[in-house]
């Protein structure tokens, strides 16, 4: 459940993890020069909130820390694919098929809300 206010100050990279397991991961880090107290606080709140989530439709956090220059990051499950709206358009899904695809998203949001997480826009 990302805080949309962080969108312009974060970078997300696809990366490879070698230890303790080999897997593709997403590395989320604050862009250089964007690490104000407010941004770092929001980032750390998002990181902690995601770490508490345990739902099949929410990417899991595997690790967290700070870079050598002190910028916080977290490593999370890499989820390949298109944004859901692009997928629906490319597949030319009907309204009922789109709604069926959207139900798991609603369940994930409900799970986050039950954990006290609110999705900001």
Structural domain range at position 15: 4-114
Q: Is residue 10 part of a domain?
A: yes
pTM score of the predicted model? 0.73
Q: Is residue 15 part of a domain?
A: yes
Q: Are strands 23-30 and 10-17 parallel, antiparallel or unpaired?
A: antiparallel
The tens digit of pLDDT for each residue in 56-75 reads: 998 888 988 888 888 888 89
Query: For the chain, how many structural domains are there in total?
Result: 1
The tens digit of pLDDT for each residue in 74-108 reads: 898 999 999 999 999 999 999 999 999 999 999 99
């Amino acid at each position: 459940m990302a805080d949309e206010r962080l969108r312009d100050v974060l970078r997300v990279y696809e990366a490879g993890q070698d230890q303790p397991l080999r897997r593709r991961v997403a590395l989320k880090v604050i862009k250089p020069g964007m690490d104000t107290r407010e941004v770092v606080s929001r980032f750390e709140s998002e990181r902690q909130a995601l770490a508490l989530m345990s739902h099949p439709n929410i990417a899991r956090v595997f690790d967290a820390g700070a870079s050598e220059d002190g910028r916080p990051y977290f490593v999370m499950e890499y989820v390949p694919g298109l944004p859901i709206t692009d997928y629906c358009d490319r597949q030319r899904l009907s309204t009922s098929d789109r709604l069926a695809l959207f139900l798991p998203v609603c369940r994930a949001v409900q799970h986050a809300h039950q954990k006290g997480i609110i999705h900001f826009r």
